[in-house]
Amino acid sequence: MKCFMRQEDISVVDDNFCVIHEPVLKLFSYNFTSLTSTKYISNNEFFNATIRLQLCSPLKEKCNGKDGYAVCLTKNKEEKGIGSNFMKNASKGEYKKWDDNVCIHR
């Protein structure tokens, strides 16, 4: 993914990518780590599919027998892991996104 943004339009993100500061008015920040639950499951009976995701960290449960996915799609009893773009800082026990998925800034 490549996109071009002016530096002044870019949100300020703390070391934890789940805390985002609104860049224009600078009045708000969004802290997704303070949610009561970061787990979300959506079932769609029409498509016979379930989507599991975990905000701000990889899924707690394995998907297709593997760790580290951001999203797990289950359809017809088959699991597909999506978005394994997290790295773990072993010294702090925190997860951050890999830098190769961010926009290129001018």
Q: Which helix (H) or strand (E) covers residue 93, if one does?
A: none
Two tokens, residue 92: 């702090």
**Average pLDDT for runs of 10 along the chain of length 106:** 45 60 82 74 85 83 89 92 65 50 34
Two tokens, residue 25: 């008015």
Domain boundaries, given as residue ranges, for the chain: 40-104
User: Can you give the pLDDT at residue 57?
Assistant: 76
User: Can you give the pLDDT at residue 50?
Assistant: 93
User: Can you give the pLDDT at residue 85?
Assistant: 56
User: Can you give the pLDDT at residue 65?
Assistant: 93
User: Can you give the pLDDT at residue 105?
Assistant: 33
- Distance CA(84)–CA(66), nearest Å, equals 10
Cα 18 to Cα 5, 43, 54, 97, 98, distances in angstroms: 20, 25, 12, 10, 14
φ, ψ (nearest 5 deg) of residue 100: -75, 0
Q: Can you give the pTM of this predicted structure?
A: 0.53
